[in-house]
Amino acid sequence: MPFAHGVGGIAANTMGDNMRGSLAAPHPLYSGAEANGHIEFTGHEAAVHPNYSSNKVIGKTMSDLYERIEAAKAFIEAFGAVRPRVALILGSGLGSLADELSEAVTIPYAQIPGFPISTVHGHRSELAIGHLAGQAVAVMRGRFHFYEGYSMEQVTFPVRVLRALGCEFLFVTNAAGGLRRDWAVGDLMRINDHIFLTGMAGNHSLRGPNDERLGTRFPAMLDAYDAELGRVAHDVAQQQGTTLRDGVYFMLSGPTFETGAELRMCSAFADAVGMSTAPEVVVARHGGMRVLGVSLVTNLALPDGTPANHAEVLEAGEAAKPKFAGLLKGVLARL
């Protein structure tokens, strides 16, 4: 069944030629520089919103998660961006898709109350809101990882905020190691399920008191990845001549790449392995969002293979930008 068009948005980094629209008005309390059709709010020179003294103070004084979500939501809404319908989280080396947004407003994470800052090369630490492929979108240019020292609540806080802003869908992407010998670097995989080993070991993204305003205490995860969105993605990939595999994503905490024994364990249960995604998907489903997950195979993670490194991850992401962007935009156009 086709999806109905509606207002909303996806946060995303864009690839390819920029598609520009009219400039959104800057927040009255910020000195925004107009750059390449975007309103940019960057650097410490930007004025601080009078209602928010600093991210650190907010994090310490607002113990209630719901209140912190509402504070971040109000801050973002004050910039006058469109109301997003789709949220997009872009993995390592994949953030440039947001450059294609029209009528875009870009806000550094450092300015948003409660948002952490990504410390990983290849993640730009910006939220971009605008239009892409006929949809209002909110795009995260970079994500947060448990291995960076952030709590699971911090890792998933942006997903909570994007849901509060109006996002009904979450498109989540990542760079992953392929566990199948017959796969190749550059392959795309639609995630049909995941194994959240970090959560199973006790570091779960829903651990702690539950706020019923955000979701039920014991959400089901059998349908974590939306089957209808998966069918749409495969239809789009076929039309575009792109190979889109289907498989299970195995999340480990990182930051080390896996040992041979760990890879043998992972390959017994999954098709790709990485260090993200599962916590965000759990929180998205907790909040009632529909999820499409896509992994880019940036290296073959084989026990007897070549040791992985982050440089090849970024290189593979760069090479895959056109087909990855085409797939995401094709699915967006079908919502």
For residue 193, CA distances in Å to 145, 225, 283 come to: 20, 6, 15
- 4, part of any domain: no
State residue 58's pLDDT score.
40
State residue 113's pLDDT score.
96
Q: Give me the residues of the chain with pLDDT under 50, please.
A: 1-62
Among positive and negative, which fits the CA dihedral 134, 142, 196, 194? Answer: positive
- 241, part of any domain: yes
Taking only the tens place, the pLDDT of each residue in 40-90 is 443 333 333 333 333 443 444 345 999 999 999 999 999 999 999 999 998
Domain that holds residue 130: 10-334
Instruction: Tell me which residue of 293, 286, 291 sits closest to 69, measured CA to CA.
Output: 286
Please give the structure tokens belonging to residue 271.
């098709």
* Residue 189 annotated in active site: no
Per the structure, the count of domains in the chain is 1
Q: Are 63 and 56 in contact (CB under 8 A)?
A: no
Q: Which of 275, 301, 308, 320 is catalytic?
A: 275
Q: Are 199 and 250 in contact (CB under 8 A)?
A: no
* Residue 237 annotated in active site: no
Reported residue count of the chain is 335
State residue 119's pLDDT score.
79
Cross-strand partners of 39 = 34, 105
- 214, part of any domain: yes
* Residue 275 annotated in active site: yes
Give the whole-angstrom CA distance, residue 199 versus residue 205.
7
pTM to 2 decimal places: 0.80
* Residue 36 annotated in active site: no
State residue 301's pLDDT score.
93
- 288, part of any domain: yes
State residue 122's pLDDT score.
56
* Residue 53 annotated in active site: no
Pairing of strands 135-141, 126-132: antiparallel
- 26, part of any domain: yes
Task: Say which amino acid occupies 260.
Answer: G
Helix (H, G, I), strand (E, B) or coil at 133: coil
The enclosing domain of 88 has a CATH number of: 3.40.50.1580
* Residue 123 annotated in active site: yes
Helix (H, G, I), strand (E, B) or coil at 245: strand
State residue 63's pLDDT score.
58
State residue 121's pLDDT score.
64
- 227, part of any domain: yes
* Residue 194 annotated in active site: no
* Residue 205 annotated in active site: no
Full DSSP string of 32-59: PEEETTEEE--STTSPPPTT---HHHHH
* Residue 147 annotated in active site: yes
Full DSSP string of 152-187: HHHHHHHHHHHHHTT--EEEEEEEEEE--TT--TT-
State residue 26's pLDDT score.
38
Q: Which of 253, 310, 319, 333 is catalytic?
A: 310
Q: Which of 148, 176, 308, 320 is catalytic?
A: 148
Q: Which of 11, 15, 98, 123 is catalytic?
A: 123
Q: Which of 13, 55, 92, 295 is catalytic?
A: 92
